[in-house]
Structure 1
Amino acid sequence: MQHYTRVLTQRFPHAKFIVIDEVAGAAEALDGGALEGADVLRLYGETPNTWRGLCEHLKVAPPIAPYPSVRYFGQRRYRSASVDELTTRPAKQLRHDQSPWIVEPRASWKGIRASAFNQMEASFSSRVIFEDNLADIQPARWLLRNDTFPGNLGLFRPANVIPQLSGGLSLTVIKEPLGVRNLSAAAVSSRSNFLFGRFEVALQATNVPGLVTGFFLHRESPRQEIDVEITGNRPDRLLVNVFYNPGSEGAKFDYGYRGTPVSIPLGFDASKTLHRFAIEWDPCFVRWFVDGELVHCRVTWGPTPIPHLPMTLHVNTWPTRSHELAGRLALRALPASAIVRRISVDSFNADTRPQLASVPEDI
């Protein structure tokens, strides 16, 4: 520690250093005086959580957001890529948002790999595990949405979520005048928030251009999101995406239009039959699976930090305004439906009161 600290002070003689430790005096013992004479701010676990000390040190105005208070998972060790992170599917990076929280693409940068947090379960009061075949909608678990968002040409309506005789639900997009929209769509959202875990759906997407079938986790204030999407103009490809904004609960950072999307070939047409799509979300990585096969993996800063706050789970089908995303809407092909047969969740109770997340915009 002393050696590396001394190298930093020599290489960056005018740098401002911020040292964080849970116990006063512990960091000084580790750096062995190597920071003596440097411009240093020391923050300790018992230090009041305010912006004042940090902003005075950096000579910047305090932000409008409250000082962040997030769950601490302990230090994680850097590691090399493991075999279970290697994928055989080529991924095509699409146009990303520009943000301080998105690393600009470069061939040599793959993100920061860290060891998974093995003691996570001890940090939470309870675990949430269920598998729902959606034979009937449980009102305590699911909400049928009745709203919309700017990028959606349709209005979500509960009547468009239709139970199927063979099991599961049909999520239907219909052409009908509704005042605020001339199309109706379908969306189901969880009433509970989830933090980390595995989320899987068995679904059959629609192949109508202009429609999007989505399975994703989402929150706002700050906005964070992890997506599985299949567009009607390319049902043979999978779109995976992450939106990230910093802060703790209530921080008004809700930026992002495109996110950080990547397109992955499926090797089949997802509109022809049911397939399983899964998201594994950990403090160190996000992994996407199709029919049990790992198809994509992201680690910290590859290219965003990993979302770290509770999110609600959603499945929907909707008509997008964006021709770039899903092609021009084929109105004559409506009505059109996606089929959802089963949703399973293995996650943690984040000790937050369940809340209804607002509907995200399209990328």
Structure 2
Amino acid sequence: MRSTMRSTTTQPRSTARSRRRLLGLAPALALGLLFGLSATPGLTPPAAAVGGSFTDNFDSHNGGRWNKADGWSNGGMFNAGWRADHVWHSGGVLGLNLNNTPCPGGCSNKPYASGEYRTNELYSYGRYEVRMKAASGSGLVSSFFTYTGPSDGQPWDEIDVEILGKNTWQMQTNYFTNGTGGHEAVINLGFDAAAGYHNYAIEWRNGNIKWFVDGRQVHEENGSRGALPTRPQRIMMNLWPGTGVDGWLGPFNYTGQKTATYDWVRYTQY
């Protein structure tokens, strides 16, 4: 999704599942075609990232670093629009609420509203870490991921940590390069990710991506299943209910507000 902060078009699920991040897709895509932005992945060295190492303990909202999505929807399988007032800070915790508050206008009249938080800057190779507690419930996704796309003047690259609310004892990993995904892996956590805070990390280097849970490596991709992303990306978190993807997420039935919470985020530049 991101730098212009709009998203009204969704990639088909066959290209994979994280497709949430296509803000400003139509105009950005036109620019991409005009300037040839969809270069072959893996053949272009990563552009210089703007952002350097940081730790954010979420004591308060840092507008110089983060942006709250507001007043629009990703469309497609996302059955909620983003509202800035659904992102909150309290007691050193960042929270994302999902409820049935109206989100009219640019939210495409979605029946639910939720929160999304993302960095203003893009970041390249390094270690991305979060301490989070997921929301539970069929049809839900609690996420921590990196993303860039046409709205940043780049092809769609992405690296995912997703907790599916239908089974919060598991984590799903995935990555996209130049819009091509389909690299999912399901990791058995050995604990309930919605019952307490745990540390999740993505270590992204030139040639591999590794995922860690509570300091333990649980998965690695080395490009054997498809070229790895190379382009600087935003750090993002969101909570959303699915629609039309019951086979993946399970059916979503609203039973009251759901919340995903984040204790801290850290990025270490490599």
Q: Does 1:320 align with 2:242?
A: yes
Q: Does 1:244 align with 2:166?
A: no
Deviations 1:315-354 (A, max 9, x none): 111111221222111311x201011010001126xxxxxx
Q: Which amino acid aligns with 1:239?
A: Q
CA distance in 2, matches of 1:170, 1:278: 19
Change in 2 beyond 3 A, CA 1:125/1:265: closer
Structure with higher Rg: it is: 1
Show structure 1 runs of 4+ deviating over 4 A.
67-73, 123-127
Q: Is the 8 A contact 2:141 2:240 kept in 1?
A: yes
CA distance in 1, matches of 2:132, 2:162: 11
Deviation at 1:148, TM superposition (A): 1.8
Q: Is the 8 A contact 2:50 2:121 kept in 1?
A: no
Match for residue 56 of structure 2? 132
SS for the counterpart of 1:194 is: coil
Change in 2 beyond 3 A, CA 1:128/1:331: same
Q: How does 1:1-363 map to 2 (within 5 A)?
A: 66=36, 68=39, 72=45, 128-146=52-70, 147-150=72-75, 151-165=77-91, 167-179=92-104, 180-221=109-150, 222-245=155-178, 255-256=179-180, 259-300=182-223, 302-321=224-243, 322-332=245-255, 334-347=256-269
Q: Is the 8 A contact 1:242 1:304 kept in 2?
A: no
Aligned residues: 224
Using structure 1 for the length normalisation, give the TM-score: 0.58
Q: Which amino acid aligns with 2:147?
A: H
Change in 2 beyond 3 A, CA 1:340/1:312: same
Q: Is the 8 A contact 2:129 2:199 kept in 1?
A: yes
Change in 2 beyond 3 A, CA 1:329/1:126: closer
Deviations 1:222-249 (A, max 9, x none): 111100000110100000001111xxxx
Which runs of 5 or more residues in structure 1 are unaligned? 1-62, 74-122, 246-254, 349-363
Q: Which amino acid aligns with 1:271?
A: A
CA distance in 2, matches of 1:126, 1:177: 36
CA distance in 2, matches of 1:72, 1:149: 29
Q: Is the 8 A contact 2:59 2:93 kept in 1?
A: yes
Using CA pairs under 8 Å that are at least 6 residues apart, name the structure with larger relative contact order, 1 or 2: 2
Compare 281-290 and 174-183 and name the one that shifted more.
Answer: 174-183
Percent of matched pairs sharing the same residue: 26
